[in-house]
Amino acid sequence: MSTVIYAVLFSFLLSTITSLFLIPLFKKLNLGQSIKNGIPISHKKKAGTPTFGGIIFIFSSIITMLLLIKNYNKELLLIISSLIAFGLIGFIDDTLKKIHKKNEGLTSKGKMILLLFVSSIFAIYSYYDPSIGSIIMFPFTKKLFNLRILYIPFIIFYYVSTTNALNLTDGLDGLATSITLLVVTFFTFLSFGMGHYTLSISCGCIAGALLGFLRYNCYPAKIIMGDTGSLALGGAIATIAMILKNPFIVIIVGGIYVIEALSSLIQIVFFKLFGKRIFKMAPIHHSFELHGWHETKIVSVFSIITTILCLIGFLSI
């Protein structure tokens, strides 16, 4: 456990220092966020806030992992690969947004193709890896189920859903960072308790990096993680739960991700079918904004809910 603590502290310091260096650099390079139409008017003041912030905690996490973890096993390589691969998709999206001078990056179809491609690689690898295989656990039941060949399409869907859900959650200053910090902390303790020590240290590295980044991402944000960060985190969380053979636990501890994604899906389907909207705006955090909630209140309430969900997650094991 001492190594996990060192991992958290070192990645926190590295993330803080990297933030102090990169935020002014991103401002100088004019890597500011463009604000799209159709969101609460209060977000207009965020225009120009540096994006690409995911680079900070991706870099800090990986460097700390490589320095502190002596056993470069498959768990470490999977976590690093997921951060880089999914983060790269987000980086391409953020770069195109900057090139186009507006909040339009990859097309929905283009992003989905890339997510499906990368997710397929992880799904196929895990299926043929004997240490992971096609067996999954259902929370609360403690029973193992062998999905056999159905494991591959299931994991592909699982990766795409998790990355998109986290991407949708990243709509307020500090929201995705705070929620994911709690979720990754949960996995730090869970993986340690299950004997996955390399994975636990890796989770600690991500948690520390997010904690350092949160100082500059909380309201009013000095930097935004962008798709670079949200997709990388979504991919990492999906990978962590996959290694632990417990992908469904993300539905519990990441309940906020699920609510955010479902609110958007319900809004779209209901509008197409009936021409009306259920929520004032989706994802649901914007709806709370339009009901008069301040960003900091939404982040605080969602974080408290996530803390409770993480406690429930421990009870489900």
The answer to whether 91 and 228 have CB atoms below 8 angstroms apart is: yes
Instruction: Determine the average pLDDT of the residues in 239-265.
Output: 97
pLDDT at 47 over 90: no
What's residue 314's pLDDT?
97
Cis peptide bond N-terminal to 24, omega within 30: no
| pLDDT band (50, 70, 90) for residue 317 | confident
| Amino acid residing at 181 | L
Please report, in range form, the residues annotated as the binding site for Mg(2+).
Answer: 167, 227
What's residue 151's pLDDT?
97
Q: How far apart are CA 171 and CA 78, in angstroms?
A: 27
Least confident of 104-113, 166-175, 207-216: 104-113
Q: pTM above 0.85?
A: yes
The answer to whether 254 and 237 have CB atoms below 8 angstroms apart is: yes
Please report, in range form, the residues annotated as the binding site.
Answer: 167, 227
pLDDT at 312 over 70: yes
The alpha carbon of residue 314 and the mean position of all alpha carbons in its chain are separated, in whole angstroms, by: 20
Q: How far apart are CA 75 and CA 302, in angstroms?
A: 30
| pLDDT band (50, 70, 90) for residue 15 | very high
What is the per-residue pLDDT across 85-132, written as a single tens digit (0 to 9) for each? 999 999 999 999 888 776 678 899 999 999 999 999 999 999 999 899
What's residue 205's pLDDT?
98
What's residue 103's pLDDT?
64
CA distances in angstroms from 313 to 8, 143, 186, 250, 257, listed in the order given? 22, 16, 8, 9, 15
What's residue 42's pLDDT?
65
The answer to whether 64 and 83 have CB atoms below 8 angstroms apart is: no
pLDDT at 40 over 80: no
Residue/partner pairs of 67-71 with CB below 8 Å, 24 or more apart: 67/10, 68/3, 68/6, 68/7, 68/10, 68/201, 68/205, 69/198, 69/201, 69/202, 71/198
Instruction: Determine the average pLDDT of the residues in 63-71.
Output: 94
Strand partners, 138: 143
Q: How many residues does the chain have?
A: 317
Instruction: Determine the average pLDDT of the residues in 8-16.
Output: 98
Structure tokens at 276: 């009306």
Instruction: Determine the average pLDDT of the residues in 213-230.
Output: 96
Sign for the CA dihedral angle at 308, 310, 316, 317 comes to negative
Structure tokens at 57: 């905690």
DSSP assignment of 229-263 equals: HHHHHHHHHHHHHHHTT-TTHHHHHTHHHHHHHHH
What's residue 102's pLDDT?
64
What's residue 48's pLDDT?
81
pLDDT at 71 over 90: no
pLDDT at 186 over 80: yes
